[in-house]
Amino acid sequence: MAQLFRRRSNSIARTSLVAIVAFFGASAWVLHAVYWSPWTTRQDNPLPQPVPFSHKHHVRGLGLDCRLCHTTVETSAFAGMPSTETCMTCHSQVWKDAPLLAPVRDSFAANAPLRWNRVHDTPDFVFFNHGIHVAKGIGCASCHGEIDQMPLTRQSHSLYMKWCLDCHRQPERFIRPRDQVFSSDYEPTNQASLGKQLVADYHVRTAQITDCSMCHR
Amino acid sequence: MIDDPRSPRTAGSRPPAGDPRSAIWRSLSELSDPKHFRELTRDEFLPGASELNRFNRRNFLKLMGASLALAGLPACTRQPLEKIVPYVRQPEELVPGRPLYFATAMTLGGFATGLIAESHEGHPTKLEGNPGHPASLGATNVFHQAALLDLYDPDRSKAVLKDGRPDTWENFVAALNGIVRPTGKGRGLRLLTETVTSPTLYSQVQKLRERFPGLTWHRFEPIGRDNVREGAKLAFGEIVETRFHFDKTSVVVSLDSDFLYSHPDSVRYARDFSARRRARPAQTEMNRLYIVESAPTITGANADHRLPVRHADIEPFARALAIGIGAISDPALRLPPPVFEKWITTLKDDLLSCRGRSIIIAGDNQPPVVHAIAHHLNHFLGNVGNTVEFIAPAEPEPVDQLASLRQLADALQNGDVETLVILGGNPAFTAPAEMRFADSLKHAKFTAHLSPDVNETSARCDWHVPQNHFLESWSDARAFDGTVSVIQPLILPLYQGRSAHELLDALFAAPGRTDYDIVRDHWNSQNPGADFESRWRQALHDGFIADTASPPKKVGLRSSGIPASHGDPAGLEITFRPDPTLLDGRFANNGWLQELPKPIVQLVWDNAAYVSPALARQKDLANGDVIELSLDQRHIRVPVWITPGQPDDSVALHFGYGRQHVGQVGRNTGTDVYPFRTSATFWTAHGVALKKTGGNHHLVTRQAQQVIDSDERQILREGTFEQFQRRPDFVRRDSESPVETLFNPPGSPGDGYRWGMAIDLTACIGCAACTLACQAENNIPTVGKDQVAAGRIMHWIRVDAYFRGTPENPAVTHQPVPCMHCEQAPCEVVCPVAATMHDQEGLNVQVYNRCVGTRYCSNNCPYKVRRFNFFDYADYTTPGFKPMRNPNVTVRWRGVMEKCTYCIQRISAARITAEEQDRRIRDGELRTACQQVCPTEAIVFGDLNDPDSRVTRLKAHPLNYLMLGQLNTRPRTTYLAKLRNPNPGLT
């Protein structure tokens, strides 16, 4: 009786074994790569906006405070988006005929709101609150990155839960004095000792802030 | 499926094992077939609940395996882009992300209850009671909670209709004036309204009468209070309203009055009543409630002594009581049945020993003479001026509404009506059958109907004008005590609606005023002066105008006494009652109210004729059997429900169901019994023939669902006030020492919060306002009748009813059951994905985004408080519902488990506010939705780490007990045992 399998079969079988492992490995790697890629997280990916608003110009260049426009960042879950009226406070005087600002003027004239694309978007089952983060000494830049360097606003971090937990597990690595929350130039020299001190001073409940119920309800 | 419709037939004829008097039971089928019932109680969900219709799990997997694999892929897509739409000009007081609160008011039957509406970026999302308002005191009933859903109802009327085709408001105004103006003085002009207490609307009607002297104003409510008015006339010769002060009362005798649930002032009455009932240590007195009633009600369930009698027997009872006490004399007394004798002697002693501290209250459905007798009794017992006071009615120019509608119907048939304007209501559906009101409408030349939905009346009128919801329009109304309440809108009209004020204003020369102008102008003309603006603003802020309650009025009893009785009506009796959740039918399209289990019977999505177990035996009836009732050539077919506590020889019919012109929610629900209700039989009829038809209607009750399988003491503890006085901790057992363990018990006191809840069963009346408040607060979906039948109802806090005693007249105890938030939660250890776990404050939290829907947790929950989204119950697609939802609570999707969270969104908001101010949450600052709405403050929530918090003190109360404590789950929700205060002379 002739051999059922040729000699070649051995190598096919061996190769297949490797190939199967490699295939699943590669698939896993691809899924992982896609999941963490900026394509999925929208990280570092400026979105088109009705007006190409530049934080770099307004914050770095003009030195405006975050709270001038994001008025409710200290009091509400939502940081607040400036009303058209806020824009027009200056832009009825400055650059009042700039073609780039036409949508703002139109919005004000027609009483029709601007529709911005949301850059930082957490899923609907996540309840983030700006007010408490500001009150506990988490700087804007800790989550929003070097927004003062961005000509077009983009998301600096993945906003995945793992990233949130990096801080919720070790707030002392990121906490800063309350008076430095809105600063773009804050450079701590002694974060290791200062962080621990601030966590204690600001009564950050370190055990509690990793509870599911902190963000999900 | 749930309550096996065949089994209750034998209830009562075959006594259950053991003494029925000592055991609690949930339904008649439990009494008749405890073994089958026990099987039902084993699982959280009913048998079959976990199976898709017609598919079992195995078939489902076989067929859908590939689809499931593919269905996983969409989860890999990116989040969709979302927009941020800031204001063009942001309102000054608005902080996006933080709600604003406005005072407003809602009317039911004309009477206002003050509310505080919560508004998120311009949309109202929740209604709470207004703590300053005398009719609310911070609480509401189920209807106020459900009114929010009506605002966002996609089936609301959206446009003016002319003969059913869309038209415009301007055309309507032109047409109306075109027909009214040429008549000069308004010949043949008729106005039909519901009960009007609005001072502004009344002044408009008065001005309209000056302008058109020919105008006749008719009023009609199907849940009328004509008997109350007539009773007052009979006793005093004038119409006065009676206000009761239950907070000063030791003995209450209710003559068929459901004053804790269906009285116009019931929210307030429930608070006052419970104030004298709450058990405190070293308390020496507790009030006592006797009720004689013709169908089981919430008030009856809370009575210390309940006597079910026919509607017709209440008058002889009242008469015999009044004669026995000496309040009236009547030689021609119809002898009451002997069962009354013991009651009357006992009541006499009790009432005479509490002179000035008792209340006799008669039900709105009782004839005027019963009200008159009650007035005589209150006078004789010295209650007037103490617990009873008389005030002018909140309604101006009160009329006999039945007569008023009859005049209109006659005029219509005689062709005397040229123009008929109907403001609100639905008389074509609700008018007494013999008036043939619906058909008569065509005799008028011009008919117009203002209504929130296109109902039976709109369909028969020439013009239909959509009526604004009260959250969309300005108005005012008086509360039961006369306090003027301002109805303030929270949102611009969603559709092209108008208010009653605007419609009447359209008849004047210069129409076009908005309802804001009309209401404001009225009050400006009443209180001119420089400080009007500040007083107006104060009234808007408060929700009512201070010191406008009607002052007590002095009235004297007429000397003519009480008319003699008419003799004993024979034959089978029927009584008509408004449906406990739909009222006269106005809430037929409200899914929350449709799915709210009715008191006592816990039926959903249907009405039924209540028959007593004895009558059911006699006529061989089982639950759902359709009977035919006949009287005077009128016939009606209606399914029956065998109701514990229903008097024999009396059948209770509930009107409000069976609407024909209704939105998709109310379509094909229940049976319309209005065609059987005439002026002569407005509340009751006798000599009715009952015939079994052989048909059966599928009725669904929640009564036998989520049943806890355990011995009685583990679930419900009850006792008497006397026992409590003798030994305050009588409900505890010596064996109830904590389970000894080597481990540190979970949830030990720390420096954080330790949330807990205590529910006082003595205070709880079972009104289910908590269920609806929770539904509104937590975005809980409705599931529909079939899904409820499958055991998939979603309410996070259910109100269980337990019966004790014989089916003929059981004592009923209500027990609200939310999640217990066990410190050693059985659900947590079985979750394979850790989707339910504990947080630092002791909450048992459910993480929806982790949940994969194994349902192991609900399988392991001994309290059966977990609810599973078997389907996409939450409506994601209807755009109208989106602004209604609480933005701080996740809208759950198919395949996830959910349950009570102790209103974690409120905890979170309060915690953040407190942390920002670097302080702790104060006791009382944070209330759960069920706690806030509770009329009797039966639910108390708070921090157990705060030694002075109300909840900590209640946990130390001697009546405090744990449900299923022997399981060592260490529940954070505990109960205070139910106390009753029976009279030893009657037991």
- Residue A2, domain member (yes or no): no
- Band of residue B3 on the pLDDT scale cut at 50, 70, 90: very low
Q: Which residues contact B376 (CB under 8 A, 6 or more apart)?
A: B235, B322, B327, B328, B557, B562
- Residue A174, domain member (yes or no): yes
Nearest residue in chain A measured CA to CA from B903: A217
Lowest mean per-residue pLDDT among A59-73, B556-570, B880-894:
B556-570
| Pick from A108, A112, A131: CB nearest B916 | A131
Mean pLDDT of B918-922: 91
What confidence tens digit (pLDDT) does each residue in B556-577 have? 888 877 887 777 788 899 999 9
- Band of residue B436 on the pLDDT scale cut at 50, 70, 90: very high
What's the CA gap between B486 and B503, in Å, rounded? 19
- Residue B68, domain member (yes or no): no
- Rounded to a whole number of angstroms, the distance from the CA of B77 to the nearest CA of chain A is 8
Is A30 in the same domain as A102?
no
- Residue A12, domain member (yes or no): yes
Is B825 in the same domain as B954?
yes
The predicted complex's ipTM stands at 0.91
Is A188 in the same domain as A108?
yes
| Pick from A78, A116, A125: CB nearest B890 | A125
Contact across the interface for B908 and A82, Cβ inside 8 Å: no
**CATH code, domain with B832:** 3.30.70.20
| Pick from A108, A212, A217: CB nearest B890 | A217
Is B332 in the same domain as B187?
no
Is A30 in the same domain as A126?
no
Contact across the interface for A211 and B840, Cβ inside 8 Å: yes
Residue B565: the pLDDT is 76
Please identify which residue in the block is written with the tokens 């015999």: B320
What's the CA gap between B766 and B816, in Å, rounded? 8
Give the residue from B502, B527, B559 where a domain finishes.
B559
Q: Please, what's the b/e burial string for A189-203 (b: 16 or more CB within 10 A of its CB; e: otherwise)?
A: eeeeebbeebbeebe
Using an 8 Å CB-CB cutoff, list chain A residues near B90. Answer: 83, 85-86
Is A28 in the same domain as A75?
no
Using an 8 Å CB-CB cutoff, list chain B residues near A123. Answer: 79, 849
Taking the complete model, does pTM exceed 0.80, yes or no?
Answer: yes
Look at residue B527 and tell me whether its pLDDT is greater than 90: no
Look at residue B19 and tell me whether its pLDDT is greater than 50: no
Nearest residue in chain B measured CA to CA from A113: B88
Is A17 in the same domain as A110?
no
Mean pLDDT of B666-689: 93
- Rounded to a whole number of angstroms, the distance from the CA of A121 to the nearest CA of chain B is 8
Look at residue B387 and tell me whether its pLDDT is greater than 50: yes
- Band of residue B699 on the pLDDT scale cut at 50, 70, 90: very high
Contact across the interface for A76 and B847, Cβ inside 8 Å: no
Using an 8 Å CB-CB cutoff, list chain A residues near B918. Answer: 203
Give the residue from B525, B559, B593 where a domain finishes.
B559
Contact between B574 and B688 under an 8 Å Cβ cutoff? The reply is yes
**CATH code, domain with B325:** 3.40.228.10
What's the CA gap between B444 and B416, in Å, rounded? 8
Residue B512: the pLDDT is 76
Beta bridge partners of B293: B308
Using an 8 Å CB-CB cutoff, list chain B residues near A203. Answer: 915, 918
- The candidate with the shortest Cα–Cα distance to B205, out of B504, B534, B579, B554, is B504
- Residue A171, domain member (yes or no): yes
- Residue B396, domain member (yes or no): no
Residue A55: the pLDDT is 94
Which residue of B846, B849, B850, B919 to mutate against A (max A Cβ within 10 Å)? B849
For chains A and B, what is the number of CB pairs under 8 angstroms? 130
Using an 8 Å CB-CB cutoff, list chain A residues near B83. Answer: 115-118
Q: Is B163 left (phi over 0), alpha (psi -120 to 50) or beta?
A: left
Residue A40: the pLDDT is 87
Is A31 in the same domain as A63?
no
Q: Please, what's the b/e burial string for A19-35 (b: 16 or more CB within 10 A of its CB; e: otherwise)?
A: eeeeeeeeeeeeeeeee
Q: What is the mean pLDDT of chain B?
A: 89
Mean pLDDT of B907-934: 93
Is A103 in the same domain as A207?
yes
Look at residue B23 and tell me whether its pLDDT is greater than 80: no
As a whole-number percent, the residues of chain B with pLDDT over 90 amount to 72
What confidence tens digit (pLDDT) does each residue in B594-625 have? 999 999 999 999 999 999 999 999 999 999 99
Is A107 in the same domain as A198?
yes
Is B546 in the same domain as B427?
yes
Residue B1: the pLDDT is 36
How deeply is B928 buried, as exposed, middle or buried, from its count of CB atoms within 10 A (0-12, 13-18, 19+)?
A: buried
What's the CA gap between B868 and B46, in Å, rounded? 12
- Residue B932, domain member (yes or no): yes
Using an 8 Å CB-CB cutoff, list chain A residues near B98. Answer: 72, 75-77
Is A76 in the same domain as A25?
no
Is B442 in the same domain as B358?
no
Give the residue from B559, B586, B608 where a domain finishes.
B559
Residue B746: the pLDDT is 63
Contact across the interface for A34 and B849, Cβ inside 8 Å: no
Look at residue B335 and tell me whether its pLDDT is greater than 80: no
Cα distances from B835 to residues A214, B63, B139, B794, in angstroms, run 14, 28, 34, 19
- Rounded to a whole number of angstroms, the distance from the CA of A104 to the nearest CA of chain B is 9
What's the CA gap between A58 and B5, in Å, rounded? 73
Nearest residue in chain B measured CA to CA from A211: B839
Residue B813: in which H helix or E strand, if any? strand B811-817
Look at residue B48 and tell me whether its pLDDT is greater than 80: no
Residue B76: the pLDDT is 59
Mean pLDDT of B230-246: 94
| Pick from A78, A82, A125: CB nearest B97 | A78
Look at residue B326 and tell me whether its pLDDT is greater than 50: yes
Nearest residue in chain B measured CA to CA from A207: B840
What's the CA gap between B759 and B716, in Å, rounded? 12
Contact across the interface for B752 and A75, Cβ inside 8 Å: no
Is B217 in the same domain as B348?
no
Contact across the interface for A77 and B97, Cβ inside 8 Å: yes
Range of the domain at A12: 8-36
Count the domains in chain A.
2
- Residue A82, domain member (yes or no): yes
Nearest residue in chain A measured CA to CA from B835: A212
- Residue B967, domain member (yes or no): yes
- Residue A151, domain member (yes or no): yes
Is A29 in the same domain as A84?
no
Q: Which residues contact B247 (CB under 8 A, 6 or more apart)?
A: B272, B273, B275, B276
Between B570 and B196, residue with greater pLDDT? B196
Q: Which residues contact A59 (CB under 8 A, 6 or more apart)?
A: A66, A147, A148, A184
Is B680 in the same domain as B555?
no
Contact across the interface for B96 and A80, Cβ inside 8 Å: yes
- Rounded to a whole number of angstroms, the distance from the CA of A106 to the nearest CA of chain B is 11
- Residue A17, domain member (yes or no): yes
Contact across the interface for A107 and B88, Cβ inside 8 Å: yes
Is B174 in the same domain as B187?
yes
Lowest mean per-residue pLDDT among B230-239, B336-345, B751-760:
B336-345
- Residue B565, domain member (yes or no): no
Contact across the interface for A84 and B89, Cβ inside 8 Å: yes
Residue B903: the pLDDT is 95
**CATH code, domain with B449:** 3.40.50.740
Contact across the interface for A217 and B86, Cβ inside 8 Å: no
Instruction: Determine what percent of chain B falls in helix, strand and coil, rounding each to the nearest 5.
Output: 30, 20, 50
What confidence tens digit (pLDDT) does each residue in A126-154 have? 999 999 999 999 999 999 999 999 999 99
Lowest mean per-residue pLDDT among B291-300, B463-472, B965-974:
B965-974
- Rounded to a whole number of angstroms, the distance from the CA of A69 to the nearest CA of chain B is 11
Residue B832: the pLDDT is 94
Contact across the interface for B915 and A124, Cβ inside 8 Å: no
Contact across the interface for B847 and A34, Cβ inside 8 Å: no
- Residue A41, domain member (yes or no): no
Residue A150: the pLDDT is 92
CA angle, corner B199, sides to B194 and B201, nearest 5?
55
Residue B8: the pLDDT is 39
Contact between B973 and B823 under an 8 Å Cβ cutoff? The reply is no
Is B552 in the same domain as B587?
no
What's the CA gap between B602 and B609, in Å, rounded? 14
Q: Which two tokens stand for residue B664?
A: 């998709």
Is B777 in the same domain as B911?
yes
Is B423 in the same domain as B500?
yes
Is B506 in the same domain as B550?
yes
Q: What is the mean pLDDT of chain A?
A: 92
Query: Phi and psi for B33 in degrees, rounded to 5?
Result: -140, 70
Range of the domain at B886: 7-48+704-728+753-980
Is A25 in the same domain as A120?
no
Mean pLDDT of B227-235: 94
Count the domains in chain B.
4
Contact across the interface for B85 and A116, Cβ inside 8 Å: yes
| Pick from B76, B78, B88: CB nearest A111 | B88
Contact between B204 and B501 under an 8 Å Cβ cutoff? The reply is yes
Is B379 in the same domain as B448?
no
Using an 8 Å CB-CB cutoff, list chain A residues near B95. Answer: 72, 75-76, 80
Residue B65: the pLDDT is 67
What confidence tens digit (pLDDT) does each residue in B798-835 have? 999 999 988 999 999 999 999 999 998 999 999 999 99
Rounded to whole angstroms, the maximal C-alpha distance in chain B is 93
Contact across the interface for A76 and B98, Cβ inside 8 Å: yes
- Rounded to a whole number of angstroms, the distance from the CA of A214 to the nearest CA of chain B is 8
- Residue B59, domain member (yes or no): no
In this structure, what DSSP letter does residue B231 have? H
Is A118 in the same domain as A15?
no
Using an 8 Å CB-CB cutoff, list chain A residues near B89. Answer: 83-85, 111
Contact across the interface for B95 and A76, Cβ inside 8 Å: yes
Residue B73: the pLDDT is 56
